[in-house]
Structure 1
Amino acid sequence: MDADGVTPGWAAALEASALGAFMRGASAAYPIVNLGHLLGLVLLVGSVLLLDLRLLGAGRRLAAHAVAQALTPTMLCGAGLLVVTGVLLFAADARALIGNAAFLWKLGLVATACANAVLFRAVWSGALKNWDAAAPLAARVQVAASLALWLTVAALGRLIAYV
């Protein structure tokens, strides 16, 4: 909602659209899409968790660079699934969600976490081959922030229905 409590027109239009009506009206659509959203969450946050824990020092027998290469496609697949299913879920209840504090915080933290990931890749990806020998403190702090951000995003997503 905007400052005066009025739902933005685009959210109301999306909810009133054929897509919004389908998501609310087809008995299996919302549950199936919700399960797809949960799968995307598991793929993204699970992969991020594994990679971030590796970058923080767990599982040192596995090369950090190799772990990043192995998990990045899964992260991207999960992110893509989350975007598609998130739009579909949003369409079903856009007017309520646009004013939901947990939803708005979730979106803001998703943007922050994505920016953090892009910045990390841009700045530190070259250091992954020598990560255990010379992982910069600033990079480890950024990895810890990634963990906190993505876990908070997941928690907020689950709390949307209760706020």
Structure 2
Amino acid sequence: MALIDMLAALEAAPFAVAIAESPWLFPAIEVIHVIAIVLVVGSIAMLDLRLLGVSRRDQGVIELANETLPWTWGAFGLALCSGLLMFASAATRYFDNIPFRVKMLLLLLAGINMAIFHLSAYRSVHHWNNQLPTPGAARIAGTMSLTFWVGVVFFGRWIGFV
């Protein structure tokens, strides 16, 4: 079965049809998605700005990460679920949408950036937890993260206009 056929089958699923045909269901899911994305980007930005030494300078990176990451992961799960529901309602159209594809690429790059950061610079965070400026690798990861997430928001907003 070709990818386009799988997307068409997803789009034809009863739950996807209900979302697509309902005058209120898609907008309600979209509101949940937007709130979740705000929480994801906001909590990530707090940590990234600390890595850059721009804010929360009085708090250690470990403490800030412990406070924000549960919110980040919870909101990310909600954003993922709501995003999948919206995608299912028009899977073939979204798949051909360039801003959607760019958003997905940026999400992937943000995930890779996070994995590299946690497997490298963050492993020694106990040595530089309260240090300002933070190590170069941490500042680079924070800059890249902010860039990718701003791009996710930008291209996510653009999806509906294409």
Q: TM-score scaled to structure 2, two decimals?
A: 0.91
Indicate whether 1:138 and 2:137 are aligned.
yes
Distance 2:64 2:73 in 1: 14
C-alpha contact (below 8 Å) 2:103/2:156 kept by paired residues = yes
Q: Paired residue for 1:115?
A: 112
C-alpha contact (below 8 Å) 1:44/1:78 kept by paired residues = yes
Q: Paired residue for 2:40?
A: 44
Count of aligned positions = 158
Query: For 1:16-61, what per-residue CA distance to the aligned partner results, in whole angstroms no more than 9, with x for missing partners?
Result: 1112111112332111110110111011101011110011102211
SS in 2 for 1:82: helix
Identity of aligned residues (%): 30
Of the candidates 13, 19, 27, which is equivalent to residue 17 of structure 1? 13
C-alpha contact (below 8 Å) 2:41/2:149 kept by paired residues = yes
Query: For 1:99-158, what per-residue CA distance to the aligned partner results, in whole angstroms no more than 9, with x for missing partners?
Result: 000000100110110111122112122333324257321221121000000110111000
Indicate whether 1:153 and 2:152 are aligned.
yes
Distance 1:91 1:162 in 2: 18
Indicate whether 1:93 and 2:90 are aligned.
yes
Distance 1:26 1:96 in 2: 18
Distance 2:93 2:3 in 1: 8
SS in 2 for 1:162: coil
> Over aligned residue pairs, what C-alpha RMSD do you find?
1.7
Query: For 1:71-107, what per-residue CA distance to the aligned partner results, in whole angstroms no more than 9, with x for missing partners?
Result: 0001101110111001100011111111000000100
Distance 2:28 2:133 in 1: 45
SS in 1 for 2:57: coil
Of residues 115-124 and 65-74 in structure 1, the stretch that sits farther from structure 2 once superposed is: 115-124
Question: Structure 2: where are the runs of 5+ without partners?
Answer: none
C-alpha contact (below 8 Å) 2:51/2:138 kept by paired residues = no
Question: Structure 1: where are the runs of 5+ without partners?
Answer: 1-5
Indicate whether 1:55 and 2:51 are aligned.
yes
Distance 1:34 1:52, change over 3 A: same
Distance 1:151 1:128 in 2: 25
Of the candidates 84, 90, 97, which is equivalent to residue 81 of structure 2? 84
C-alpha contact (below 8 Å) 1:43/1:77 kept by paired residues = no
